[in-house]
């Protein structure tokens, strides 16, 4: 979800996103940062926040097999490989090697999906205003368990970040914690990372750069978070569910403020990449997924599911499922219908209940009332499809297309056996099984359907 930037661009700023962790507590074959929050991989949320803040370069630090992780972050993200998992300091060093000509570098973990562009931009602004070599984001917690504590000396000067496992009783009582988001002068950071000393486990800890800066007397600035939910880190499925709930609450509040009515927000599920026009109303039980886009004054639900759907203005959809399809203006779809991938529904089409459409174009002003299957078909404008109509598109080996011309009338219980063309203005009688093309303006009937003789021929008149 792209976020509104505080700056148009942050010239000379790069963001290094640490995404090489194994995430073993997720107990998943999928890399941790590829798990979705509100339909979007965690790393994409973080990358979008950096984009929204105006960072000119984005670099994702991944393991040697992390191509999918980089791809999920977005096409403008460069990769840096951490050959071995030797700690966050080593990952930051690998990321810095992938940065080109940046004067300042932000380092952020990829498992912070709730982080906002505003926070990244505000941290960068604080860094510039204070002329610090290092700026870190902190937060205040009543219960800081699990976080590294911010140790301060005389005058409130930061002296170190103390990890909980190493903290004394008095240090554990500190409520100001390290968030894991840093902005630093690039040249200084390069030297500080090179000076890191391996821990007893052999890993290099990024947090040690704070002690390095303090020991040298360099200026360290902080930006304190107002909303601590932004640093909801995700390490396991429980934390994933918490981040999901908070993100969905955030999305619902945003879209309502943008002019969308949610009748029952708690039962409405909206992915982060969904967009709306104003004056749209969403009824209870609706799921709007993927890159769904709704126009102005639509009405959706109740209990509709739309995934990767592009809809125009004044679209009305009942309790139906629509996938990977486009709907033009003034389309109406009743309950219990299913629009399957690859379908295009043009202006002012009416689809009633129990209509299934698959990989088909339905022309403007066409009506399909109920109980019909239209698959692999091109239906013209102002066509009437009677109840029970089926396009028989599969012969057991191949699928074929059906074409119905403008203004045609397909009678109830007609079966159109593809490949077949029903011409403009043609008609099929009720119960017809159509196995051959129907010329424009003619009528067919029967099993198999044949062209109806004209009345003169039937009566014997010349």
Quickly list DSSP for 305-334: EEES-EE-TT-EE-S-EEES-EE-TT-EE-
- Measured CA to CA in angstroms, residue 24 lies from 321, 387, 448 at distances of 36, 54, 63
Instruction: Name the more confident of 92 and 20.
Output: 92
> Between β-strands 415-417 and 402-404, what pairing exists: parallel, antiparallel or unpaired?
unpaired
pLDDT digits over 345-375, tens only?
A: 999 999 999 999 999 999 999 999 999 999 9
Q: Which helix (H) or strand (E) holds 355?
A: strand 350-358
- Say what percent of the chain tops pLDDT 90: 82
What does the alpha-carbon distance between residue 382 and residue 405 come to, in Å, rounded to a whole number? Answer: 9
Query: Residue 461 has what pLDDT?
Result: 36
What's the CA gap between 125 and 117, in Å, rounded? 12
What DSSP element (H or E) covers 216? none
Separation between Cα atoms, residue 250 and residue 294, nearest integer Å: 19
Q: Percent of the chain at pLDDT above 70?
A: 96
Distance CA 308, CA 326 (A): 9
Assign 170 a pLDDT band (cuts: 50, 70, 90). very high
pLDDT digits (tens, 9 = 90+) for 383-426: 999 999 999 999 889 999 999 999 999 999 999 999 999 999 99
Of the residues 127, 212, 223, 370, only one is catalytic, namely 370
- The pLDDT, as a whole number, for residue 166 is 85
Residue 1: pLDDT over 60: no
| Banded model confidence at residue 455, pLDDT cuts 50, 70, 90 | very low
In eight-state DSSP terms, residue 231 is G
* pLDDT score for 456: 35
**What contacts 355, CB < 8 A, 6 or more positions away?**
333, 334, 337, 338, 368, 369, 370, 371, 372, 374
- The answer to whether 53 and 117 are in contact (CB under 8 A) is yes
Domains of the chain: 10-231 (3.90.550.10), 258-459 (2.160.10.10)
Q: What is the DSSP letter of 272?
A: T
Q: What sign results for the dihedral spanned by CA atoms 200, 201, 202, 207?
A: negative
Judged by average pLDDT, the poorest of 58-67, 325-334, 447-456 is: 447-456
Beta bridge partners of 149: 162, 177
Which of 78, 79, 108 has the alpha carbon at shortest distance from 233? Answer: 108
Closest CA to 115 of 270, 227, 258: 227
Pick from 123, 124, 118, 120: which is nearest to 103 by CA?
124
pLDDT band of residue 3 (cuts 50, 70, 90) is: very low
Residue 262 reports pLDDT greater than 90: yes
Which residues is 186 bridged to in the sheet?
none
Overall average pLDDT of the 10-19 stretch? 92
* Structure-block tokens of residue 64: 């040697």
Contacts of 404 by beta carbon, 8 Å cutoff, 6+ apart: 377, 378, 379, 380, 383, 410, 416, 421, 422
pLDDT band per the 50, 70, 90 thresholds, residue 31: very high
- The partner residues of 136 in beta bridges, in order of sequence, read 182, 222
In the residue annotation, 370 being an active-site residue is answered as yes
Which tokens is 184 given? 């630093």
**Coil, helix or strand for 390?**
strand
Q: CB–CB of 429/401 below 8 Å?
A: no
Angle at 347 between CA 344 and CA 353, to 5 degrees: 70
- Per residue in 146-164, pLDDT tens? 889 999 988 888 998 988 8
Q: Is the peptide bond before 302 cis (omega within 30 degrees of 0)?
A: yes
273-317 pLDDT per residue, tens: 999 999 999 999 999 999 999 999 999 999 999 999 999 999 999
Report whether 74 contacts 55 (CB < 8 A).
no
Distance of CA 303 to the CA centre of its chain: 20
The predicted pLDDT at position 226 comes to: 86
Q: Could you give the CA distance from residue 152 to residue 143 in angstroms, rounded to a whole number?
A: 19
Backbone angles phi, psi at 189, to 5 degrees: -60, -40
Helices 186-194/88-97 angle, 10° precision: 130
């Amino acid at each position: 979800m792209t976020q509104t930037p505080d700056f148009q661009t942050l010239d000379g700023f790069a963001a290094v996103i640490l995404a090489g962790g194994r995430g073993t507590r997720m107990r998943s074959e999928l890399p941790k940062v590829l798990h979705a929050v509100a339909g979007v991989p965690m790393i994409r949320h973080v990358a979008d926040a950096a984009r929204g803040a105006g960072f000119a370069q984005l670099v994702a630090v991944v393991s040697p097999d992390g191509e999918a992780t980089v791809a999920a972050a977005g096409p403008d993200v460069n990769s840096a490989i951490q050959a071995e998992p030797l700690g966050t300091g080593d990952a930051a060093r690998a990321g810095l090697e992938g940065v080109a000509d940046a004067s300042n570098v932000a380092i952020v973990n990829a498992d912070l999906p709730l982080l906002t562009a505003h926070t990244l931009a505000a941290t960068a602004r604080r860094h510039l205003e204070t002329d610090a070599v290092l700026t870190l984001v902190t937060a205040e917690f009543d219960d800081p368990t699990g976080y590294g504590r911010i140790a301060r000396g005389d005058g409130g000067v930061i002296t170190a970040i103390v990890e909980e496992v190493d903290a004394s009783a008095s240090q554990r009582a500190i409520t100001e914690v390290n968030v894991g988001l840093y902005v630093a002068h690039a040249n200084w950071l390069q030297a500080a990372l090179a000076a890191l000393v391996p821990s007893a486990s052999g890993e290099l800890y990024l947090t040690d750069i704070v002690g390095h800066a303090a020991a040298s007397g360099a200026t360290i600035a902080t930006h304190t978070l107002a909303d601590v939910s932004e640093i909801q880190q995700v390490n396991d499925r429980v934390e994933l569910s918490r981040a999901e709930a908070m993100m969905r609450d955030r999305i619902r509040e945003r879209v309502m403020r943008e002019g969308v009515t949610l009748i029952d927000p708690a039962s409405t599920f909206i992915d982060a990449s969904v967009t709306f026009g104003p004056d749209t109303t969403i009824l209870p039980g609706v799921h709007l997924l993927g890159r769904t886009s709704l126009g102005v004054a639509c009405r959706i639900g109740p209990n509709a599911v739309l995934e990767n759907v592009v809809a125009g203005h004044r679209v009305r959809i009942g309790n139906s499922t629509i996938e990977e399809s486009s709907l033009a203006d003034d389309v109406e779809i009743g309950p219990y219908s299913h629009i399957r991938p690859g379908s295009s529904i043009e202006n002012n089409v009416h689809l009633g209940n129990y209509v299934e459409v698959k990989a088909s174009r339905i022309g403007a002003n066409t009506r399909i009332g109920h109980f019909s299957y239209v698959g692999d078909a091109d239906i013209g404008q102002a066509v009437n499809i009677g109840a029970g109509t089926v396009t028989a598109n599969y012969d057991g080996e191949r699928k074929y297309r059906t074409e119905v011309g403008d203004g045609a009338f397909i009678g109830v219980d007609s079966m159109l056996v593809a490949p077949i063309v029903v011409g403009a203005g043609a008609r099929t009688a009720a119960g017809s099984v159509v196995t051959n093309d129907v010329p424009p303006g003619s009528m067919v009937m029967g099993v198999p359907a044949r062209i109806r003789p004209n009345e003169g021929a039937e009566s014997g008149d010349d």
